[in-house]
Amino acid sequence: MNNWRISCTRLRDRPVRAAAVLAVLTAALALASLCLGAVELSPAQVLEALRQGDSGSVAARVMLYSRLPRTCGSLLTGAALAVAGVLVQTVLANPLAAPHIIGVNSGAGLGVTLCCAVAPAAALQPLAAFAGAMAGVLLVLLFAEMTGASRITLVLAGVAISSIFGALTDAVLTVFPDALTGYSDFRMGGLSGITSMGRLAPAAGMIAVSLAAVVALSGLLDILALGPETAQSLGVSVRPVRLAFLALAAALAGAAVSVCGLVGFVGLLVPHAMRRLVGEESRPLVLCAALGGASLMTLCDLLARLAAAPFELPVGTVLSVVGGPFFLYLLIRQRGGRTHD
């Protein structure tokens, strides 16, 4: 029994170390995001602006109406999209699945567009995004259950569902061309529209509650990862549990899309990278995915602001440029990972 406990402690070390490194990285990137930009601020100025609030100085205004909401936005949306990716991949037992691939993000996009066209209230947008994302989730789940679809078929179905939602979004924008006026780069993803903490608050609340629920239910996620039949034989009511996790994925992805637009790659890349780093035990995986997603999104937003200054690139473009080669590298190096026996 002593040997057991010693080896358990040793096995827990790696996720703890990984989480600590990622937490430091995330904090460093957040600080860089607060300091760097068209107006450069020192860490001391940042702290001073945070402490004093809206004192009227340039530094304080830059901080409160641009850098702080934008940095918080990148951290929250990155974490939300990455954890949504973990949930979708685990529940559908499909490493190719990700919120933007199976139509969750585009469903959320349609929800936001409809909301902006019909009832343009910022507080409603995360809810509308959740409704759209949930519609995407339910369509994919229905398709998977009715047809027993293979992994590739499920992904292709997701592409079709994304395409349908994209077409509907276009149709809404044709009728209401000014619906997304407040959103720059909605389709490619961007964070420049986040100009106040109030704008971020509804989505932040939804993301915080959903993340807490995912952590609280992570034990069930572990069992679900063994496959539906094994999970059920261990006493899990698979169907309602799957639906609950997909609803949480929809809430996370929907809330993120309502803030940053149709950013995709985070939900695919980060879960893969974190599985390689810490394995598939749910609680450390969710924690590290949240930190990894927050880091990646913040890094890409920083690059989007600085790479072609004074112009700003859409963050979705930077994500693809940075994440694409990294993802290909992971695929080339992958030897084992999740397999089906």
Which residues contribute to the site for another protein (CB under 8 A)?
1, 4-5, 7-8, 11, 93, 216, 219, 222-223, 225-227, 229-230, 232-237, 275, 279-281, 336-341
The CB-of-56 to another protein minimum distance in angstroms stands at: 49
Q: Which is nearer to another protein, 17 or 308 (CB)?
A: 17
Q: Which is nearer to another protein, 20 or 276 (CB)?
A: 276
d(CA 247, CA 252): 9
Rg of the chain over Cα atoms, rounded to whole angstroms, equals 20
Q: What is the DSSP string of 301-316?
A: HHHHHHTTTTS---HH
C-alpha 286 chain-centroid distance: 11
Residue environment code for 282-292, b if the CB has 16+ CB neighbours within 10 A, otherwise e? bbbbbbbbbbb
The CB-of-94 to another protein minimum distance in angstroms stands at: 11
Q: Which is nearer to another protein, 14 or 20 (CB)?
A: 14
Q: Which is nearer to another protein, 236 or 313 (CB)?
A: 236
Q: Which is nearer to another protein, 2 or 174 (CB)?
A: 2
The CB-of-146 to another protein minimum distance in angstroms stands at: 11
Tokens 């995709």 sit at which residue?
264
Q: Which is nearer to another protein, 127 or 217 (CB)?
A: 217
The CB-of-237 to another protein minimum distance in angstroms stands at: 6
Q: For residues 106 and 161, is the Cβ–Cβ distance under 8 A? A: yes
The CB-of-153 to another protein minimum distance in angstroms stands at: 17
Torsion of CA 271, 36, 261, 307, to 10 degrees: -90
Q: What is the DSSP string of 133-178?
A: HHHHHHHHHHHHHHHT--HHHHHHHHHHHHHHHHHHHHHHHHHSTT
The CB-of-243 to another protein minimum distance in angstroms stands at: 15
The CB-of-143 to another protein minimum distance in angstroms stands at: 16
Q: On the CB side of 252, how many CA atoms lie within 13 Å of its CA?
A: 35
d(CA 318, CA 207): 23
The tokens of 278 are what?
């810490």
Q: Which is nearer to another protein, 32 or 93 (CB)?
A: 93
40 by Cβ neighbours in 10 Å (0-12 / 13-18 / 19+) ranks as exposed
